[in-house]
Amino acid sequence: MTSEDIVSCQNGCLMAKYCLLLLRDDFQVHPRNTEVAVGDTGVLYCHPPRGLPEPKVKWKKDGETVRISGHFELKGPGNLFINDARHTDSGIYVCIAENKAGERESSPARLLVREKPRITKSPEDKTVEEGSNVQFQCQAEGDPPPTIVWNRVSGKVPGTRSEILADRSLKLSKVLVSDEGVYFCRAENSVGFIEAPARLTVHSEPTFLVTPANKVVGVGRRVSFRCEVIGNPPPALFWSKETNHVGDGVLMFPRQDVGRFSVTTDGTLVIENVRLEDEGEFMCQAISVAGSAFAKATLQVKDVDPRPPPIIHQGPQNQTLPVNSVAMLQCSASGDPPPTITCTDQPSCHIPSYTGAVYLPWTTFTTLNHRHHRHNDEVELEG
């Protein structure tokens, strides 16, 4: 047989003197059991055996030949694409290779058209008080029935205080403010998954970290009452004075000065230039949607301040320094209330807030009222 005869044979034995027909038994790729979701595209792979002439491929479903159309497409060496899969497409498929030498069938493969999970009952946002229990429900359907698991965005589900109930609900016991966040259930089966979120908000009543202390102060002095409170959501903090001369019923809020009275951003009440009529009971109050709390402190005003004056523990010392250098004069003091340290007659000197040191750059020497002497480019200071 010549090569010309073989070519003619491959063209259908129409012109060949001798015709070699061949179809091997082994498929290069057999189709496998496959699952696909309704509406998705399923693929059954098949690579037929070699043969002369080249075998053609067709498919059978449950013993009936599959009609290749827009719904069923044949691509590649013999792969069957099932577009927009429907439940009726489920069945047993066989890939068939045929030529003039005969016909070969692949091993059968089952195609199952399933349904992706869908949420039938979504978890709802919850707002609870700290220490209470809370439950999130989540129900889903699908084919096969999906499994439901719970997760938390940016954190973990509390381990020892969480429980998955028989209906797959999530229960949290004795919730803490730290449990606040977004939780979501995930329903998953062999053909897909879906998630549904819910937010947990945990309220806690206002609680004092620092309560104001009673104070005794002299006329003209400055006095402060500390008051710190926490809660979730953060409570509003304000001060009031019973039968005060600021004005009956006046509430003092942070960053809203009332004459000599002011409240700092951290909740401290400050009274400048104390007067006898300032004596009385002051109340720090905190309020939020979770509740309220208050703490009281009494102010006693004396004609003469009973507290001792500030004590200087370390004063400045005489120094001899080179010209154009920086002088540092140490000053450490204590008292009730904590004293402030200033430069007498030296408005340009610098006192860092974190130390009691006074820094005197050379540029201030010309304005110093302290006695200084120049000797060979040196400056001598007397503190």
57-105 pLDDT per residue, tens: 999 999 999 999 889 999 999 999 999 999 999 999 999 999 888 888 9
Pairing of strands 126-129, 192-210: parallel
Beta bridge partners of 33: none
Instruction: Give pLDDT, residue 1.
Output: 42
pLDDT at 102: 87
In DSSP terms, 220 is beta-bridged to none
What are 173's two structure tokens?
């016991």
pLDDT of residue 230: 96
122-203: which CATH number, 2.60.40.10, 3.40.190.10, 1.20.1740.10, 2.30.42.10? 2.60.40.10
> What pTM, to 2 d.p., does this model score?
0.65
Pair type for strands 126-129 and 102-105: unpaired
pLDDT digits (tens, 9 = 90+) for 9-32: 545 454 545 567 878 878 999 999
- Strands 291-302, 215-218: pairing kind: parallel
CATH pick for 23-114 out of 1.20.810.10, 3.90.1150.10, 2.60.40.10, 3.30.70.3280: 2.60.40.10
- What's the mean pLDDT in 180-190? 96
**Residues 6+ positions from 318 with CB-CB distance below 8 Å:** 380, 381, 382, 383
Model confidence at 326, pLDDT cuts 50, 70, 90, reads: confident
Measured CA distances, 163 to 170, 176, 272, 294, 382 (Å): 6, 16, 56, 37, 75
CATH class of the region 211-302: mainly beta
Domain with CATH 2.60.40.10 in the chain: 23-114, 122-203, 211-302
Q: Which of 11-15, 139-143, 338-342 has the lowest mean pLDDT?
A: 11-15
> What's the whole-number average pLDDT of the chain?
84
Residue burial 327-340, b: 16+ Cβ < 10 Å; e: rest: bebebebeeeeeee
Of the candidates 305, 322, 316, the one whose C-alpha atom is nearest the C-alpha of residue 344 is: 316
